[in-house]
Structure 1
Amino acid sequence: MNSDNSNPLAAHSLDGARALITGSSRGIGADTAAYFAQAGARVAVNYRNKEARALKLVAQLNETDGSAIAIGADLTDPETVSALFETVKEEFGGLEILVLNASGGMEGGMAEDYAMQLNRDAQVNFLKTMMPLLHQGSRVVFVTSHQAHFIRTVETMPEYVPVALSKRAGEDALRELIPELEAKGISFVVVSGDMIEGTITATLLQRANPGAIEARKEAAGRLYNVSEFAAEVASAAVEPVPENNTRYVGDVSDFLNK
């Protein structure tokens, strides 16, 4: 969890707000949860199987004047998603912020189509399930990578292609829901960033292709770390919706010029 003073959100700026971040027991999701809690929001930390991490994060946030709860749910399991919905409804009553941060596809031992199940199908199902908790003024944030967002025009590392294709498919499927969201006064933002140092995805890529992250860092000039990127995600939850509903983090010239 971020422990410095780099919170992009002003103190008390989210007083009264309620936020849910998927996949937030560690990494980008955990730091985003911390930024929200420090700004006054009540935060639901979602985890799939890292309960101990989630409970530790929640304890830390509650000890520092934050307000957080942990809720376990596997996004690919509709039953646990429905249970999560009921818990959030009972504990919070509604949501002002929903961050779709959970993703995967490089884990071992999963079904061949797991990446598409999680990064496309589960994202759409999760948002549709949570829709009754959202209202006029709520914001949905979908977290992705440049490698996924631009996969149709820019090649990426072979090891990451299945994830990139499924993440882009998920983004497209979620964008199809924008008219329905906007009709209810709910805004939608995609946050796209380069590879993030310190994430599980970067670790798995490095393991599968030693030197891959260093090569991308050299090509990009610099890569954001977890807390820096989480700050951008947190900001995207409150700042005006950018053009084409997309917030690019860092330099995208390598991708836009191809």
Structure 2
Amino acid sequence: MSVPDPSPASSPVLEPGSLAGKTALVTGSSRGIGADTVRYFAEAGANVVINYRNKAPRAEKLAGQLRELGVSALVVGADLTDPDSVAAMFDQVRSAFGSLDILVLNASGGMEAGMAEDYALRLNRDAQVNTLRSALPLMGDGSRVVFVTSHQAHFIRTTPTMPEYEAVALSKRAGEDALRELVPSLDERGIGFVVVSGDMIVGTVTATLLERAAPGAIESRRESAGRLYNVSEFAAEIAHAAVEPVPADNTRLIGDTSSFAGE
């Protein structure tokens, strides 16, 4: 399902109070897209879990801001590539809230310097599947899982991407494929699953690293696409994907796709 460009609006991203009594966890939510997404959930009344890997002060500062909205905000540090760390995270969620209604698999990477050769695949495929499996005992009928990816990864099988991003794109597509294999079992439990794929998002770490590796990459893509979403705009689409009806193909495409060949 393709989503049109957003129109300017001052209204809340989600209806205030619409998520009261619900609990949402967003991986990698101490900054960027994840932070804006978890904020939108809190503004709609949800209790939230802010997950971080190494940005504890930033996560705690965000939690303090969200608690002022009258919701509970749990801060949990976890390395998603470490199964024991992930298990401990969900133990804390169970203790604090008892259940989980929304899981946004936002954290990803692979372009960081100094990581092992298989790091991208471990984070973008293996860790995503393990995180979802670890969350399932807390999730029930009517809950929702959202996997965040990029057009460059979603369409990698039919449209080449920049060499600097290819390994990450392939690993993220492998993660998407592995998660999609779980959809039938999720459907049986009444758990919705949506892939949210976006074009290059201005202001993200990935876009910054790509620009550093290939100067001019952002402007080149902007000229090709006509416009690029920023962090808050893309986060709003993720928030909508967590509450709106699941598309027939479990896919929500954000931004221009005319440069990408269909699958």
Q: TM-score, normalised by structure 1?
A: 0.96
Separation in structure 2 between the aligned mates of residue 6 and residue 194 of structure 1, nearest angstrom: 24
Name the structure 1 match of 2:194: 189
Among 126, 138, 141, the alignment partner of 2:131 is 126
Name the structure 2 match of 1:104: 109
Which is further off, 233-242 or 210-219? Answer: 210-219
| Percentage identity across paired residues of the two chains | 69
The structural deviation recorded for 1:61 is 0.8
2:168 matches 1:163: yes
Name the structure 2 match of 1:234: 239
Unaligned residue ranges in structure 2 (runs of 5+): 1-8
Q: Aligned with 2:260: secondary structure?
A: helix
Q: Aligned with 1:195: secondary structure?
A: coil
CA RMSD after TM alignment: 1.3
The structural deviation recorded for 1:6 is 5.3
C-alpha change, 1:188 and 1:219, in structure 2 (3 Å) is same
Q: Aligned with 2:195: secondary structure?
A: strand
Q: Aligned with 2:259: secondary structure?
A: helix
Where in structure 1 do 4 or more consecutive aligned residues deviate above 4 Å? Answer: none
Q: Aligned with 1:247: secondary structure?
A: strand
Name the structure 2 match of 1:210: 215
Code of the aligned partner of 2:113:
G
Contact 2:155/2:262 (<8 A) preserved: no
2:181 matches 1:176: yes
2:100 matches 1:95: yes
Write the deviation string for residues 130-164 of structure 1: whole angstroms up to 9, x where unpaired.
11011000000000000000000001111010110
Code of the aligned partner of 2:121:
M
Q: TM-score, normalised by structure 2?
A: 0.94
Name the structure 1 match of 2:41: 36
Write the deviation string for residues 104-136 of structure 1: whole angstroms up to 9, x where unpaired.
000011101100000000000111111101100
Contact 1:28/1:229 (<8 A) preserved: yes
Name the structure 1 match of 2:204: 199
Contact 1:188/1:241 (<8 A) preserved: yes
Name the structure 1 match of 2:6: none
Separation in structure 2 between the aligned mates of residue 249 and residue 163 of structure 1, nearest angstrom: 19
Name the structure 1 match of 2:29: 24
The structural deviation recorded for 1:256 is 3.8
The structural deviation recorded for 1:211 is 0.8
Code of the aligned partner of 1:83:
A
Q: Aligned with 1:254: secondary structure?
A: coil
Separation in structure 2 between the aligned mates of residue 215 and residue 251 of structure 1, nearest angstrom: 14
Separation in structure 2 between the aligned mates of residue 31 and residue 223 of structure 1, nearest angstrom: 17
Unaligned residue ranges in structure 1 (runs of 5+): none
User: Would you say how many aligned residue pairs link Structure 1 and Structure 2?
Assistant: 255
Code of the aligned partner of 2:12:
N
Name the structure 1 match of 2:140: 135
Name the structure 1 match of 2:3: none
